A and B are shown apart, each in its own frame.
Chain A
Amino acid sequence: MLQTENITVNIGPQHPSTHGGLHVEAIFNGEIIVDSTVHLGYVHRSVEKIAETRTYPQFVPYTSRLDYLASQLPTLAYCQAVEKMIGAEIPERAEYIRVIMAELSRIASHMLAIGSIAIDLGATTGLIYTFRDRERIMDMFEMTSGQRLITSYMRIGGISDDLPPEFFPAVNSFIEDIPKMIKEYEDLLVGNEIMQARLKGVGVISAEDAINYGVSGPNLRATGVAYDIRKAEPYGIYDRFDFDIPTRKNGDSWDRFILRIEEIKESSEIIDQALKDLPQGEIMGKVRRVIRPEAGKEVYHRIESAKGELGFYIVSDGSDKPYRLHVRAPSFINLMILPQISKGEKLQDIIANIATLDPVLGECDR
């Protein structure tokens, strides 16, 4: 007698398209996903517990290892959270350099996202092109911090080193070349019929669902909600820059993919303005060597990272170590909607959905 039966397929944790140690257990009826469960924790280090045993400055390098694909951003969020607690003043030059570094990190992360969406769908060439361009950002990070990926460049009160002279020609030519790079991505990927067929109408998130599920960042803006913390609650000196918040309408994988390309343009605008206005001066504010925020003081500071709302909640007990530190990780919360949007779709669609949600597991599992 003929009969059908659902089968369970484990996607990950050891699979290139899962971007690290992500494990999705999916139940299939033929090719259709009936249900799926996300299992996390394969790269859990318990950074929140580690934070309680490290002094405030000692914890800076750990934050770089959260979102290691855009490592300036979590470091910036942490330093600004501590600065808010102690009321530190940051020199103008350091503020501008922070913005330049943060936006370069965002571009690097979005380039990697675009490339990995392409390779997850089988378009290896796409990854090679975006990696080639991202490499120039890695070189700039190496010039300034000595590190390519895990920079730990921000400090509580400013930044660790001033920009070297060779940084300026590198960043200027990079900004100049961005339209050319985007043209290449557009010719190669956006105009590609297979990319369109694989991404359009796949993994649709409605604006209402996105907010309800706490989806933030490019994934939220792809649903049509123009919510960007750089505008909604400007931190640092972001209120001085003139830039747009690109949005899309459909909230599908295609929109999430296109939106990241558009955000690269806006970030390069910001870098351009910051370089023009970059003042001379100090790079470190006056911060005590041993940082002891007032007892009972607490802060929730959030920034717009490349993946979405990245927040640090820190509670002080008056000692030189945080009493409690919590990381609100956008990758973690953005993944929550994955089973919902993948239901009723095919195996290849869940791969596209993971790629376009763009989680980074170092931050997700913490």
Chain B
Amino acid sequence: MPNKKIIEGLQAEFNDALEVSNDGSYDILTIEKGQLHALCENLKKDGFNYLANLTAVDYEDRFEVVYHIHSVPENRKIAVKTIIDYGNPEVSTVIDIWRTADWQEREVYDLLGIKFAGHPNLIRILLPYDYEAHPLRKDFKLK
């Protein structure tokens, strides 16, 4: 299983910043927020050329940003997660690694209010441009 070798290499490089788990379908790499961009660059070099899905979850005390990344030529897959503070929801963009992050990051910003540092055009995408709330946050109650 080639994923195993890649993960071993990443563990040697990122040490304590990286935690590895498996949910039965994806190997999950949980990385410290500061190292996210470096980890993603490494994954791209290892052949993970297709960022299939990027989203985030509000856990009320923290946000988790989730990346499902695939390799089209080698048909491999991996998931990356990073945990960010509720008070300062900001994480580095990956748009320079996978262009498809553009709208997906804008959507996460729009609906959950997470900022992606370095994104060239971080504006709302689904809701009106002058809307004020982030409706997928748990403190946004439906009336």
**A contacts, CB < 8 Å to B:** 40-41, 44, 46, 48-49, 53, 84, 209, 211-214, 216, 225, 227, 232-233, 297-300, 302, 309, 311, 313, 315, 323-324, 326, 328, 332-333, 336, 365-366
Contact = CB atoms under 8 A, between A and B. Distances in A.
Given A41-B127, A44-B126, A213-B99, A326 B142 contact: no
Interface string B73-110: 00101010000000000000000001110111001000
A366 B126 contact: yes
B128 interface: yes
Interface residues of B, number: 34
Given A212-B100, A227-B72, A300 B53 contact: yes
A336 B104 CA distance: 10
A212 B99 contact: yes
Given A44-B127, A323-B57, A336-B100, A49 B51 contact: no
Contact of A213 (B57, B66, B100): B100
Given A323-B57, A326-B55, A40 B126 contact: yes
B19 to A, nearest CB: 15
B119 interface: no
Nearest to A214: B100
Contacts of A323: 57
B58 interface: yes
Which 4 pairs across A and B sit closest by C-beta, in order of nearness?
A: A214-B100, A326-B55, A41-B126, A328-B53
A336 B140 CA distance: 28
B119 to A, nearest CB: 14
Nearest to A297: B23
Contact of A53 (B72, B125, B128, B142): B142
Contact of B125 (A40, A48, A311): A40
5 contacts: A40-B125, A44-B127, A299-B25, A313-B55, A365-B126
A211 B69 CA distance: 12
A53 B141 CA distance: 10
Given A53-B142, A212-B98, A333-B104, A311 B135 contact: no
Given A328-B52, A333-B104, 12 more contacts: A41-B125, A41-B128, A49-B136, A212-B100, A214-B100, A300-B79, A302-B53, A309-B52, A311-B53, A328-B53, A328-B55, A336-B100
A22 B123 CA distance: 18
A48 B127 contact: no
Contacts, number: 85
B25 A214 contact: no
Contacts of A212: 49, 98-100
Interface of B: 23, 25-26, 49-53, 55, 57-58, 66, 68, 72, 75, 77, 79, 98-100, 102-104, 107, 111, 124-128, 135-136, 140, 142
Contact of A211 (B49, B79, B135): B49
A324 B103 contact: no
Nearest to B57: A324
B23 A233 contact: no
Given A41-B128, A212-B98, A214-B100, A300 B57 contact: no
Nearest to B101: A214
A214 B50 CA distance: 6
Nearest to B28: A298
Contacts of B135: 46, 49
A44 B136 CA distance: 13
A211 B142 contact: no
A336 to B, nearest CB: 5
Contacts of B25: 84, 299-300
Interface centre among B58, B100, B103 (most CB of A within 10 A): B100
Contacts of A214: 50-52, 98-100, 104
Nearest to B53: A328
Contact of B75 (A232, A311, A326): A232
A46 B110 CA distance: 12
A213 B52 CA distance: 10
A41 B126 CA distance: 4
Contacts of B53: 300, 302, 311, 313, 326, 328
